[in-house]
Structure 1
Amino acid sequence: MAAEPNNWGRFGPDDQRGTLNLLTPEVVLRALAAATTGRVLSLAMPIRGATSSAAPHSVPHLRGRPLPQHFMSVDGADYAAGARAIGAGLRVADDALIVTPHGTTTHMDALCHMWAGDELYNGHPAARVRSYGAARCGIERAGGVVARGVLFDVPRHLGLDHLPAGFRIGPELLEEIAPEVRPGDVAVIRTGWPLVWERSREEYWSGQPGLSAGAGRWLAGRDVAMVAADNAAVGGLNAGQLADEDAEDDLHLILLWRHGIHLAEMLWLEELAAAGRSEFVFVAAPLRIEGGTGSPINPLAIL
């Protein structure tokens, strides 16, 4: 920690929100000016339950992760005997949903998701992360996120549909695409990698492009409130679906642990890219899962 800049103590010794503290009322109001047409785009992948969808594997996910389970009672074949009667001639269907956010759907990482040694972000004890939840830095601490979103459409900048699997986005590319990043912005990184899913599942699982360690430090140095990406880990992955970088250069440790920058992963950014807007209002609200290491989200771009 001594050799690497960090935000420990910056927002107080008890802080559990990191750079989301930069989203003051004044910053949020200024961010709202980025919306000019009122058009709203969802940046989320669909959730297709393995028990209720005919094609649960048709949504990008990391190999080996349990797919979402979605049970409905309307047909009487799942967790309940049938649709409940609530009055004369009226029926109601219920849902039960089990989701493993990391690696299977659009989600937001909590600051307790990854750490090194015995301490979470800001020096909170890692021993407080247990099977029944994290007593420090859980996703419920994040609250809602309303900020100016800045799209880094790296493939379009390079004249590509998507980046190659081994491509690592360096800080110089980010500087070329959007040099005017302001404190409190949400950096939205498009690699185009979800497009590969429709062509070949095996190619999708062969690795993933993503940010380099230098790019992560560049964003942290500009005080972004959050980093969101359309790949599975913000940084790149190898064929084993793991990062090649050592701990010093691991993107999750740089952003989550050292700087308290929440991450959002597995976004769908194709409509946003097609709209040609590099600046917009970014909205995301994680579920208030007490002690959760992350939460599914449906992030919105307001153009």
Structure 2
Amino acid sequence: MTTSGTTAVPAPDILRYTAFSSDPSGGNPAGVVLDARALDDEAMLAVAAEVGYSESAFLTERDEAARRFRIRYFSPLAEVDFCGHATVATAVALAERLGEGPLLFLTNAGEITLDTARGADGAVRATLTSVPTRTRPATDAELDQSLAALRWSRVDLDPSLPPHVAFGGVEHLVLAAATRERLRALDYDFDGLAEVMRRHGWTTLQLVWRESAERFHARDPFPIGGVVEDAATGAAAAAFGGYLRDLDALPASGAFTIRQGEDMGRPSTLTVASVPGTGRTRP
């Protein structure tokens, strides 16, 4: 018989959802723990590492009557202040249990509002509204360090979409490839890019190619989270919407789509709209 001065914490119920795709073989999977009130940081990190997805979400405080929840996100290696696809996954999981309607998530990055509704096919869908976005031009040092780790050069970039650091809850370096072939041939220095990202506080790189004003293709390296690439990145999509707005490059409708995950075999579609007068976007 063994004794201990502490009480064992029951293993949490871990749900697995896929966001930004109607096909389970596409989109970006996320772990969801709807009741993480008994878990400390170390335990949440261990769960995220065990699940192995790019991020898992944990509800650490809950007010079901007000539909208000404190949410935290962990990659297999570290906590992340905000994660779009895990937010959407958690909102769908809650709506399936509590009923559709608005939700409010308190994140490290600020308040995120969500609308959930059931479609004609019976599936629950969730749309988030980001925190206010912002963007600034990347410095020459930031750009040169990133291009070296990516094994790209400046001639690989689209001059009409300049390199920026964009924020939509967390920061992302936005680099636009001049060709679809450049974006497709992604072969980067994993450790080198992770070090660059840690140095500058970036969560992913948002690598894009513009097919048209309304349609982009994207890839998002995520080495600081222990993941080569994200299949669908809602936080980066929100930031990219703000980037296009600030560059006056949004289509007349204010909305566009991003195709992501195609080159890694998990095709995803993210629709992004700018919310007029708020500085926010809805991926």
TM-score in terms of structure 1 length: 0.28
Q: Report which of the two structures shows the higher radius of gyration computed on alpha carbons.
A: 1
Q: Would you tell me which structure has more strand in proportion to its own residues? A: 2
TM-score in terms of structure 2 length: 0.30
Select the structure with the greater relative contact order (CA < 8 A; seq sep ≥ 6): 1
